[in-house]
Amino acid sequence: NADAAMYYSKEAGRDSFHFFTPDMNARVFERLSLENSLRRALERQEFLLYYQPQVDMPSGRVIGFEALIRWQHPQMGLVSPARFIPVAEDSGLIVPIGEWVLGEACRQNRAWQEQGMPAVPVAVNISALQFRQPQFEASVERALAESGLEPAWLELELTESMMLHQGQGATDLLDRLKARGVRLSIDDFGTGYSSLAYLKRLPLDKLKIDQAFVRDIASDAGGAAITATIIQMAHNLGLSVIAEGVETEAQLEFLQAHDCASAQGFYFARPMPAADIRAFWDGRR
């Protein structure tokens, strides 16, 4: 094929060449090279965790942190998880990456406690593929054992889709984690097109209202209605509820008027490196 072009991938390393025809677009190429460098990122220690405070309203007291992975790529700079998590999920690399996140978040939270910071949970995002691994429970146990963190200070963020099509095995797993004292929350709640039946069946602690609804609170009656309904439903089910992506005073006022007791968002604090959390905490006292 005279139109075939050969591309050289910097990220993929000196010795990797790929053939592309014009109809294979640049995105496929980018994805391949991203996957190749993702493969080496763990051993090269290119990942780090940022932490975003979760606050109580109206006191503003910090009640927890969410750990959010960042990839410090030598050429590309800081790569957002929106870009590389999907690639990590498709390639299966999310399993070892997710295990690293669990271990690192537990280690950091324990270190903060040893430095005298008040104990609060650290929330860790769990991928569906990671959750389905037979070794998932063992990886949680290992992270707790190696860090010495008490289970109550670890929160796992699961998604609605993971609750769907889950057999007895998954229900039993969640029951065991809950019995250990680990907290369980549902991330991006309201976006999963799932049945609500699992909410009363599973041992959950918290719903995180997706930021899409929170964003629309002030501008759109639909977003406001959905947010208010989720808060009410969480109360009725005896679950905690937190609003994600709170950016404005107007959103904050709406949430408080509707009895939402906690929030997370740029209005309070952006995700930040672990080293900055200390100063943030001291500054708030």
Site track 118-147 with ligand C2E (rule: CB under 6 A), x = hit: -------x-x--------------------
Question: What span, in angstroms and rounded, lies between the C-alpha atoms of 58 and 36?
Answer: 46
Among 24, 81, 117, 161, binds ligand C2E (CB under 6 A): 81
Structure tokens at 128: 């569906």
Q: Which of residues 108-127 bind Mg ion (CB under 5 A)?
A: 125
What is the chain's percent helix, strand, coil content, to nearest 5? 45, 20, 30
Q: How many CA atoms within 13 Å lie on the side-chain side of 46? A: 20
> Measuring CA to CA, which residue among 223, 220, 157, 217 is closest to residue 190?
223
Chain positions 197 to 236 lying near ligand C2E, rule: CB under 6 A, are 211
CB 247 within 8 A of CB 267: yes
Cα gap 56→198, rounded to integer Å: 27
Single out the segment in contact with Mg ion by CB under 5 A; choices: 90-98, 227-235, 237-245, 261-269: 237-245
Between 24 and 239, name the residue whose CB sits nearer to ligand C2E: 239
- Pick from 247, 272, 280, 281 the residue near ligand C2E by CB under 6 A: 247
**160, 191 contact by CB (below 8 A):** yes
Select from 57-65, 94-102, 196-204, 224-232 the region that touches ligand C2E (CB under 6 A): 94-102
> Where on the chain is the footprint of Mg ion (CB under 5 A)?
125, 157, 187-188, 244
Residues that bind ligand C2E (CB under 6 A): 52, 68-69, 80-82, 85, 94, 98, 101, 125, 127, 187-188, 211, 244-247, 264-266, 271
